[in-house]
Amino acid sequence: MSKFEIQTPLGFTTRTSEEYWQKLIIKHPDIVDLEAEIRQALADPDEIRRSSRDPNILLFYLILKKKRWVVAVARRLNGDGFLITAYQTDAIKEGESIWHK
């Protein structure tokens, strides 16, 4: 069962299931209260970068406060997007910037 399905500014939908979300918050307990921010990062990010290691992986950054971002990482496959992880960070990773607010 889908937990959420979000249209990204790049014109594709990214989704995750409740089951996968539960695994994610076990791995990253600091995001348990940031579901709304993660959804917003996908729908209305401040910046989107392409992974330098895998061109099908996109990182959606949303500024939480100065020097603090939430990142939603999605894999795009055959036009569909799947949330693969999400976390907080104090630095934007390397990789090609492909979209800016």
d(CA 53, CA 37): 25
In a domain, 98, yes or no: no
Residue 25's domain comprises 2-91
Domain count, the chain: 1
In a domain, 99, yes or no: no
For every one of its 101 residues, what pLDDT tens digit does the chain have, with 9 covering 90 and above?
Answer: 789 999 999 999 999 999 999 999 999 999 999 999 999 999 999 999 999 999 999 999 999 999 999 999 999 988 899 999 999 999 998 889 999 99
Residues near 74 by beta carbon (within 8 Å), at least 6 away in sequence: 8, 14, 42, 57, 58, 60, 81, 82, 83, 84
Q: Look at residue 1 in the predicted model and tell me its pLDDT.
A: 76
Cβ 51 vs Cβ 95: under 8 Å = yes
Q: Look at residue 73 in the predicted model and tell me its pLDDT.
A: 97
Cβ 74 vs Cβ 84: under 8 Å = yes
In a domain, 96, yes or no: no
Model pTM score: 0.94
**DSSP label at residue 53:** S
In a domain, 47, yes or no: yes
